[in-house]
Structure 1
Amino acid sequence: MCGIVGYIGDKNAYPILINGLKMLEYRGYDSSGIALLGDEQRVYKCQGKIANLEELVSDKDTSGKIGIGHTRWATHGEPTDQNAHPHTSMNGHFTLVHNGIIENYSRLRDDLIELGYTFQSQTDTEVLVNLIEYVYLNSEEKSAEIAVRAALKKVVGAYGIVIVCNEEPNKLIAARKGSPLVIGIGNDEYFLASDATPIVGYTNQVLYLNDHDVAIIERGSLTLKNINNDPLVAKIKQVDLSIGELQKNGYDHFMLKEIFEQPNTIEQSFKGRIKTDNSDIVLGGLHNVMPKLMDARRLIIIGCGTSWHAGLVGEYLFEEYCRIPVEVEYASEFRYRNPIIDEDDVVIAISQSGETADTLAAVKLAKERGATVLGICNVVGSSIPRETDGGVYIHAGVEIGVASTKAFTAQVTILTMMAALLGKERGKLSLEDYRVIIQELSEVPEKIKTILKTTDHIRKVADKYKDAVNALYLGRGALFPVALEGALKLKEVSYLHAEGYAAAEMKHGPIALVDDNLPVVVVAAKDRYYEKVVSNIQEVKARKGNIIAVVSEGDTQLDKMCDDIFEIPRSHPAVAPLLTIIPLQLFAYYVAILRGTDVDQPRNLAKSVTVE
């Protein structure tokens, strides 16, 4: 959600900024802009894609060794040229790019208007840059750094900012609270971005800003302090990310590439964590918190969107194999509901980016209430892993497609290992059953490769239903969350309305929707719910509904009953969610392609939701 880039050094900033913004397109945006500092400051910005910005500046002066850039996902004000970033203060002293939301912007704006300020946009960001300027002009010591720190103390909300001051033209100032910022460290040059993707082509040495950090960056020097002017020690990390991961590598879209990467990403998730003889699971990130897990009264899983669906799968696994009560909560509801949390609760926060604003806030709330908090995240060095007591990285690699695919299956893989390990340690899962689950999990990558060979068939089925208006997805047990996730994928990328339901709930309302125009997607792998699901399918067929079923290989009964089927290899129920979701991801992808939508950057969506 929104993207920031910045550069200071001896190179021409413009190509670095533009390429960096393109690397951040996957985060979602509706306008973009850059500011360049050379002999004078130049700001270019416009609504629409970065290609529009490139066209705008094609005949303009793009010189300058310092610059900042931004892709905006509209919050305050529509996507317009005026609302695009960067924003410049009324008197021209400061120019700013900003991710996040200034919650008290309205009051600050009114105060500034009374002081004579006028505004050109509807954004909270223009309020912030004018506040900084006002503090700067009315301070005895004219210092951009002091003005930034003083202004930020008046701000309520979240921000990741990079700012330049015309009176101090050889300097960038960056600050963060609740919205990620990364500084790449080169040879007498520095690169700034919302995440590491725009930086890895130049350096693998990075500094992740923490909340309330302020970085003052000049050519060849970086000073780190907090908002109260206390000096901090910069902790440089090496980012493990390659340029190859940021390219399509021959696939038409990142979404398709990431679907096809899942045999590898699932294997990476358990590689080194499952012993080579499949006898045991070792999760080093849980070692220090295992006593808390063993004694936990309850597990609370929190997440948003796809991560919430992964958590629902986890609920079935933990309750089945560990016999421990589990609640799965939307992080956005959990943080505001005044939840009952005890010291013997364990909270598991799931977030691909590790920066999801609601999930991060929920983590902090759970810690304040005394719970042990664990994280399941993809991005190393992100905020949630730094805030939690322990956890497990999913190692899925960078996910560019806005609609999550490989991160979901990697999250479910980690939850499966956690549930099996904890079940064994608590004495609720026999050693024999424990090792069966490990063996089945180790076979998942090869089974997914088998499913991926059926793309031609899945595309043909997608072509049959591409003009549908609505779709209903049904599942039971641990496959109910798969139905929810399958429906979410379809609506995200194709803009076709789709709803997931527990199959038994169909008779409590949704069956009214069934007619000969409605595709009903049923996740019907062979498990203990199978006969019940068959009954649900018969109920739909009796009302002339069109059935697409995900079935276990060799299922002749449903092959005869359904209009279309997607076969998956037979598997243990513990790993069935990892297999059944694959054809649903491909189905959503092909429906979207046939409907002509942008699958990698669906309208209105952002990859990492770093504001409420």
Structure 2
Amino acid sequence: MCGIVAYVGHQEACPIIIKGLKRLEYRGYDSAGIALLNKSGLNIYKKKGKVVALEEELKSKDTTACIGIGHTRWATHGEPNDRNAHPHYSNHKKLAIIHNGIIENYATIKQKLLQKGHEFRSETDSEVLIHFIEDIQSELNCTLVEAVRLALQEVVGAYAIVVMTEDEPTQLIAARKSSPLVIGVGEDEFFFASDATPIIEYTKDVVYLDDNQIALVRNNELKIVNLENERQLPYVQKLEMELEAIEKGGYDHFMLKEIFEQPRSIADSMRGRVNSEEGSLQLGGLSEYMGKLADAKRIIIVGCGTSWHAGLVAEYIFEELARIPVEVEYASEFRYRNPIIREKDFVIAISQSGETADTLAAIQLAKSKGATIFGVCNVVGSSIARETHAGAYTHAGPEIGVASTKAFTAQVTVLTQMAIAVAKKRGTISEGLYRQLLIELENIPRKVEQVLKAADKIKEIAFIFTYARNFIYLGRGLNFPVALEGALKLKEISYIHAEGYPAAEMKHGPIALIDEDMPVVFIATKDSSYEKVVSNIQEVKARKGRVIAIVTEGDSLIHSMVDFVIEIPKTHEILMPLLSSIPLQLLSYYIAVMRGRNVDQPRNLAKSVTVE
């Protein structure tokens, strides 16, 4: 959830670290800090608030240094303030640490250290860890890397850490468990970060640390060991990401850019997989496990937030096409209810970042029960990509805006391809429908472009509803998860209370909320539930609700019934969520902007939720 950046080499560390922290602002944070080692010693500077506040603090300081560590913190232990911001000193201020994650047994360790006379300057679990490392080094008179290794054998929880010491001006030590950490390898220099975005402009050679690995950089040499002190061979990979992908590219916000990138990101999610002319659909990661999916007695889909909504869409599609029972679970609740998991179950884990802690925990539980685990994520080399038996990358490209947009449609695209492929394998769809779906899939990017042309009209509608304090989103069938996702987007970035319901459920309670001040968004496309949705619209209008309807182009009936209409192109009902979700993203975006919200970094939210 937090952001880590560190550097050691021949360049000035401070500008690299500050720029890197800004690259990681999308992850969500409430304070920032930096530690630098120069002639005056090991100095830490940190401030509550944004990185710009830290920059202001540094203007009067000596920031000359070729080694440093930086951090953006999202508060877990202790309120957001200067004191609790990272980095943290050890007891004697000889060491400094930055840490993402949670040390669950920190209180026990802290109590023992207090009895030894340690004085703590913050309320954080992270400070306890660096005190503990220093204490071990002092007690055993061992090297710092050995002290780190021994300390990590004792702690319980999740971590990505970078440690520096006043005594070694060319040394940084990093380690990870259940929290991402990547090392960039340059010419006589090394970069450390939570993800590749701070590194990409300096090098494309990276090493993704695995769980329980410790990296030591000293004198321009990288060495990796595990917690048992066994030497590990660094696996250097090439980054495929381009710098332009993490820039705004002329858009006012990353979120708007990412909404408009969806024709390309959806196409990229199908590239090399779908060929309607040849009638072929191949997902490389699924080929080895297609038999297990086709023979599965049940599919369990786990995810959080937007990924959970993508899973709900997939539930409809898998059951409709492949006739396999599907259960969609909140990953955050999955392992806490002692779920029944069998060896014949096929578990699909969905995560944009590939680092979601709750989803990782669900994967580990399902694996322990013998189920087959398939990952759908966006980030190459992420934890989920490595924990699963197999998987498919969405290839959506970097998503910087905290509120997910293109990741959602890319996930739905990949899941739809999986459902079509397994239906073909099982013989539960005709050849004609199979070919039709492939053709329609290939046409979706062009149809998304058509939807995006309505942005100005949606902006006008958004202006009218900027006043709203509540919204209701209603849909049926495949469009019910779209209603949930639309409501989530509005909540996340505008801070307007919004709820999504199945349209038929409205009269079982929510209809009591309808009056002339209540905006109601209907996803009312022409599908098998169309007439029922028309009846639901009439029920809302009879109670003076103000209705915005997402309809299929050419629909004249609903035009005459509602206050505002947004048209989307025709497509097969199975694929409609890929189009109907786009206007809801734009509506949320424009309402939030008009209310003066920070749409890329909404309050209290983090892009990658790496703690439970």
**TM over 0.5, shorter chain:** yes
The answer for the alignment partner of 1:200 in structure 2 is: 200
- The alignment's C-alpha RMSD in Å is 0.8
**Which position in structure 1 is the counterpart of 2:369?**
369
Residue 109, structure 1, aligned to residue 110, structure 2: yes
Cα distance in 2 for partners of 1:242, 1:218 equals 29
Partner of 1:230: 230
TM-score (structure 2 length as normaliser): 0.99
Note the 1:278-427 alignment, pairs <5 A.
279-427=279-427
- Secondary structure at 1:439 match in 2: helix
Cα displacement (A) at 1:408: 0.2
1:519-548 C-alpha deviation (Å, 9 max, x unpaired): 000111100000111111111111111111
> 1:581-600 alignment to 2 at 5 Å?
581-600=581-600
Identity over aligned residues, as a percent? 60
Give the letter aligned to residue 69 of structure 1.
G
Give the superposition deviation at 1:502: 0.8
The one-letter code sitting in structure 2 at the alignment partner of 1:66 is I
Checking the alignment, whether the CA contact within 8 Å between 2:72 and 2:86 is kept in structure 1 is yes
Aligned mates of 1:94, 1:362 — CA distance in 2: 36
- Looking at structure 1, the residues matched to 444 and 35 of structure 2 have their Cα atoms a distance apart, in angstroms, of 49
> Residue 276 of structure 1: CA displacement?
5.6
| Aligned equivalents of 1:244, 1:314: Cα separation in 2 | 32
> Equivalents in 2 of 1:152, 1:553: separation in Å?
59
The answer to whether 1:82 aligns with 2:83 is: yes
The letter of the residue matching 1:327 is E
- Equivalent residue letter for 1:255: M
The one-letter amino acid of 1:20's match is G
Letter in structure 1 aligned against 2:491: K
Q: Which residue of 2 aligns with 1:9?
A: 9
Q: 1: CA distance between counterparts of 2:190 and 2:595?
A: 43
Match in the other structure for 1:129: 130
- State whether structure 2 residue 28 is matched by structure 1 residue 28: yes
Letter in 1 for 2:461: V
Distance of 1:213 and 1:185 partners within structure 2? 17
Q: Distance in 2 between matches of 1:154 and 1:371?
A: 30
Distance in 2 separating the partners of 1:72 and 1:556: 52
For structure 1, the residue ranges without an aligned partner over 5 or more in a row are: none
- Answer whether contact 1:484 1:499 (CA < 8 A) is retained: yes
Q: Which residue of structure 2 lines up, in the alignment, with residue 178 of structure 1?
A: 178
For residues 411 and 379 of structure 2, the distance between their equivalents in structure 1, rounded to whole angstroms, comes to 12
Asked if the contact 1:373/1:388 (under 8 Å) is kept, the reply is yes
Deviation of residue 93 (structure 1)?
A: 2.0
Deviations, residues 284-319 of structure 1 (Å, cap 9, x unaligned): 110110110111000000000000000000000000
Give the secondary-structure state (helix, strand or coil) at the position aligned to 1:375.
strand
Quote the offset at 1:113 in angstroms: 1.1
> In 1, are the aligned partners of 2:42 and 2:94 still within 8 Å (CA)?
no
SS at match of 1:138: helix
The answer to whether residue 441 in structure 2 is matched with residue 433 in structure 1 is: no
Distance 1:258 1:8 in 2: 33
| CA–CA separation in structure 2 for the residues paired with 1:576 and 1:401 | 24
Structure 1 counterpart SS, 2:230: coil
Residue by residue, what CA displacement relative to the aligned partner does 1:249-308 show, whole Å, maximum 9, x if unpaired?
A: 110000000000000000000011012616121111101101101110000000000000
Partner in structure 1 of residue 240 of structure 2: 240
Q: How do 1:462-541 residues align onto structure 2 when only pairs under 5 Å count?
A: 462-541=462-541
Partner Cα distance (1:278, 1:327) in 2: 33
Q: Is the Cα contact below 8 Å between 1:144 and 1:168 reproduced in 2?
A: no
Q: Does 1:454 align with 2:462?
A: no
What secondary structure, in the 3-state scheme, does the structure 1 residue paired with 2:363 have? helix
| Contact 2:276–2:435, Cα closer than 8 Å, also in 1 | no
Counting only pairs closer than 5 Å after superposition, residues 572-583 of structure 1 correspond to structure 2 as: 572-583=572-583
Question: How many residue pairs are counted as aligned between the two chains?
Answer: 611
Secondary structure, counterpart of 2:293 in structure 1: helix
Q: Distance in 2 between matches of 1:278 and 1:508?
A: 48
Matches of 2:189 and 2:379 in 1, distance apart? 24
Measure the CA separation in 1 of the matches of 2:173 and 2:429.
54
1:106 and 1:584 map into 2 onto residues whose CA distance is 45
Separation of aligned partners in 1, 2:244 and 2:168? 38
Equivalent residue number for residue 67 of structure 2:
66
Residue identity opposite 1:13 in structure 2: A
Classify the secondary structure of the residue corresponding to 1:63.
coil
Alignment-mate amino acid for residue 487 of structure 1: A
Runs of 4 or more, structure 1, over 3 Å off, are none
Query: What is the alpha-carbon distance in structure 1 between the residues aligned to residue 563 and residue 362 of structure 2?
Result: 44
Task: Using the TM superposition, give the Cα deviation of residue 169 of structure 1 relative to its aligned residue in structure 2, in angstroms.
Answer: 3.1
Cα distance in 2, alignment partners of residues 228 and 611 from structure 1: 25
Displacement after TM superposition at 1:158 (Å) = 0.3
Instruction: Provide, for residues 328-379 of structure 1, a one-character-per-residue CA deviation record: whole Å limited to 9, x for no partner.
Output: 0001111222111111000000000001001011111111100000000100
In the alignment, is the contact (CA less than 8 A) between 2:276 and 2:442 conserved in 1? Answer: no
Measure, in 2, the Cα distance between the counterparts of 1:240 and 1:267: 17
SS at match of 1:67: strand
The whole-number CA distance in structure 1 between the counterparts of 2:278 and 2:496 is 42
- Spell out, residue by residue over 1:555-575, the C-alpha distance to the aligned partner (whole angstroms, 9 max, x if none): 111111111111101111011
Once the two structures are superposed, what CA deviation does each residue of 1:54-103 show, in whole Å capped at 9, x if it has no partner? 00001110111100000000111111000000000121121000000011
Letter in 2 for 1:43: I
Asked whether the 8 Å contact 1:278–1:439 carries over to 2, the reply is no
Aligned residue in 2 for 1:44: 45
**Separation in 1 of the partners of 2:246 and 2:52?**
19
Letter of the 2:271 partner, please give it.
K
Whether contact under 8 Å (1:189, 1:219) holds in the other structure is: no
| 1:420 Cα deviation from its structure 2 partner | 0.8
Instruction: Tell me by how many angstroms 1:41 deviates.
Output: 1.3
Corresponding residue number in structure 1 for 2:605: 605
Q: Is the 8 A contact 2:216 2:223 kept in 1?
A: yes
Look up the match of 1:569: 569
Q: Say if 2:103 is the partner of 1:97.
A: no
Q: Which runs of 5+ in 2 are unaligned?
A: none
1:278/1:438 contact within 8 Å kept: no
